[in-house]
Structures are given as C-alpha cells and as structure tokens.
Structure 1
Amino acid sequence: MDDPQQQAKRPVSALAGSYGHPLHPIFVTVPIGAWVASLVFDVASHVAGDPGFLAEGSLWLIGLGVAGALAAAATGFLDLLAVPPGTRVFRTALVHMSLNLAVTAAYAAAFGWRLDDTGGPVAPGRIALSAAALAALTASGFLGGKLAYRYGVRVADEKTQAEGFTRTGTAPRHTADQGENA
C-alpha cells in the first residue's frame, strides 16, 4: 500500500483486531482500571480499621494490571508495525510505547516490592511510586489518544465512517467528495 496514512489504518495481523476494530484500546482498560483502583486501595489502607485486606487487594490489582499491560503491549506493538517509520506518528507511537513499558516495569517492580508486606497500611514510598507511574500513564494515554483521534491510527477511513451518517431510506445529504458547500 503506497499511502502511509491508509497503511496505518489496516491491521498487520488478525491478532491486532479487524479493520476499524483494533484490540489495543480494549485491552488498555484492564491495566488502567486495575492500577487506578490499586492507588485508591493504597490510600484507603490509611483510613480503614483493618488495612491489610486493602494492601493485599492493591497488590493483586497491580499484578492484574501488569498481566493486562502485557496483552495491551502485544496488540499495541502489532498496531505499531502498521505505522510507516520516519513519520511524526511513528515517533509519537514510540514515545507512547516507551512510556507504557516504563510504567509496566515500575508496576512490576512495585509488585515485587510489596509481595511480602501486606499486613498494614501501604508505605508512603510505595504510594508515591504508584502515583508517579499513574502520572506517566496519563501522559502516555494522552499520546495514545493523539494517535487514534488526531492521526487516525487503526481508525476506519472517512469513507467507511460516512456509512454511519447516512440516513436510513434516504440519499446522503453530504459526502466528503461534494465539498463543504454542497
């Protein structure tokens, strides 16, 4: 395919999801949700009468997030393979991937750091690590949104999207080919 923009919209493998239905955005909800919930559990461990169950719950949420991040990374890497190297979108995708790998490594380290200590409130250093990792994840999420919503990586092209805006039983009132004043 000669058009790099169209190339970035097509999956390189069925494992990445079908055209217009990438799997990466679905899989990222697992680590994001698990890691946000783990921070909530961390903070709650300081106000609960019995903090041990919250510290242990946070530990397992971190582990679940790491496992989910590996699935998200695999599908995200497949999406990256569709992006032409040397482009602005490719550089953005590399920064997005690098941040996500760093965040996942931080949470994997946090899991190991907490493994033998879930009896009391979560230590402030461990909470700080989670908060810093979530801040980096937020920056990475912003870049992921830019990849999808601004650059259209793995998003169906406008002609395919236009099918959803055709009124049932009537001719389309406006198409991209007609121009703005049609």
Structure 2
Amino acid sequence: MPPGPRVRSPCLKRSAPTERCSSSWSFYRDWQFTRRSVIAHHTHTSGTGSTAALHGHPLHPMLVGFPIALFIGAFVTDLAYLAAGDAFWARASFWLLVGGLAMGLGAALPGAIDLLTIKHARSWRLAWMHGLLNIGVLLLALANMVLRWEDMAGAVLPYGLPLSAVSVALLAVTGWLGGEMVFQHGVGVSRSVGASGNKLHEHAPAVPSRNDAGHHHEQDGRKQPPER
C-alpha cells in the first residue's frame, strides 16, 4: 500500500523565495526547540515523597479538599441568604466557616511539615507562596467568623459576603499553585515514581538540541521510499 500524502514545507519548492524560506525555517526550528525545552523543564523525573504521610499517602492532599468545599459552601449560602432572606442560610454560612477553619488547620499542619522538611519544596518560592496564601485564607475565615458571632444574619453584608468571595478567589490561586507543585514538580509524589530504572522515567522528554530539531525537519521534507 503506497504511503499517504505528506505535508511538505513550502521551502522545498524551487519557486519559494530563499530569504522567506530561511526566515520561516529559522522561526520553526527555534519554536520547536523552545517548546520541547519547556516541556522537559516542567516534567519531574522523580517524586520527592512526603514526610507527613500515612502508609505512604500524603496527608495534606487528603485533607485539603474539606476546607475548600466548606469555604465555597459558605460563599454559596451567603448568596442564598441574600436571595431568599431566610436566616437559616446565614446560620449555615457561620457553621460552614467554623468547619472550614477547623479542617483548614488540620490540613495546614501536614502541609507545613512537608514544606519545612522537603528540601526540594523548601527551596521554591512557589511553595512558600502556596503556604502563605493558604494562611491568608484561614485568617480571612477567622475574621469572617468573628464578625458574624453576635449577628449572623446582619453581618452577611457588608462584611461576610465580600470576605467569603475573597477567600474563594484565593483558594483558586492556591489550588493552582498546589497542582503546579504536585503535577509539574512531583512534590509529595512517591519517590518510586520516575526513579532510576523505573519505566515511567523513560517517558520523560529529553531536551532536544537545535541540530536535532533541524535534522528531524529535513527528514520530514524528504520523500520516503514506498513500503514493500
């Protein structure tokens, strides 16, 4: 069966201007080199492990989902109170804040242990930003709870709802930073993942050289012999 049509570079045509082709090829080669280098830079080749873990499972990611859900719930019930005017929703917001603060402190402890004991994480500004912003979320929740202490319904505006909204926005930022640390840099991931000799390590992309990028591009432009 003859091979299918191949996409050929316009620079291979004799009618193409030399200067335009040279510029296009140079741009393509640099773009490919930069793209592969970035992918290789952001792919962790081994996990760091976790100091605060239970049977090898890190405690921080196991607990952090609870305060996130509770703080988002407090924001939603604030909106429900404004829409319905029922004091039940204001009371629900208060107790969601109490539960979120308690679970947030429980999740912060193993997170702080990992941050301070894992050298790979401790040396990153990204990890410190993640931790400090999470502390900021807990402080906002504490202030939000104290302001509602005497009048749960009356404090929804002008204090409660804005504080809940800011907390949810910060949670989105800290969640993204946490995912960056785990999925891109392997913080908290088992040390066996990507270790030397592990099959998973073979899938980590290597940083190509510019000569390699040019070689592959030249091969793409050549006609391949038909299959026998």
The verdict on a shared fold, with TM-score over 0.5 as the criterion, is yes
CA contact (8 A) 1:10 1:82 kept: no
Q: 2:109 aligns with which of 56, 64, 74?
A: 74
Residues 1:127 and 2:161 are matched in the alignment: yes
**Unaligned stretches of 5+ residues in structure 2:** 1-44, 206-228
CA contact (8 A) 2:115 2:122 kept: no
Q: CA offset at residue 137 of structure 1?
A: 1.4
Matches within 5 A, 1:1-182: 9-12=48-51, 15-19=52-56, 21-49=57-85, 51-84=86-119, 90-119=124-153, 122-156=156-190, 157-159=192-194, 176-177=201-202
2:83 alignment partner, SS class: coil
CA contact (8 A) 1:46 1:121 kept: no
- Structure 2 Cα separation of the partners of residues 46 and 86 of structure 1: 42
- Structure 2 Cα separation of the partners of residues 133 and 106 of structure 1: 7
- Structure 2 Cα separation of the partners of residues 137 and 27 of structure 1: 14
> What corresponds to 1:167 in structure 2?
none
> What corresponds to 1:170 in structure 2?
none
1:30 alignment partner AA: F
CA contact (8 A) 1:103 1:133 kept: yes
CA contact (8 A) 1:69 1:104 kept: yes
**Unaligned stretches of 5+ residues in structure 1:** 164-173
Sequence identity percentage: 33
Q: Who wins on radius of gyration, i.e. which is larger? A: 2
> What corresponds to 2:17 in structure 1?
none
Larger relative CO (CA 8 A, sep 6+): 1 or 2?
Answer: 2
1:75 alignment partner AA: P
**What per-residue deviation string (whole Å, max 9, x for no partner) do you get for residues 70-115 of structure 1?**
0110010121133216965x32111100000011001001000011
State the aligned residue count.
Answer: 159
**What per-residue deviation string (whole Å, max 9, x for no partner) do you get for residues 33-53 of structure 1?**
10101111000001225x211
| Residues 52 and 84 of structure 1: CA distance in aligned 2, closer, same or farther (over 3 Å) | same
TM-score by length of 1: 0.76
Q: CA offset at residue 122 of structure 1?
A: 2.3
CA contact (8 A) 1:16 1:79 kept: no
1:27 alignment partner AA: L
CA contact (8 A) 2:182 2:188 kept: yes
TM-score by length of 2: 0.61
- Structure 2 Cα separation of the partners of residues 175 and 34 of structure 1: 36
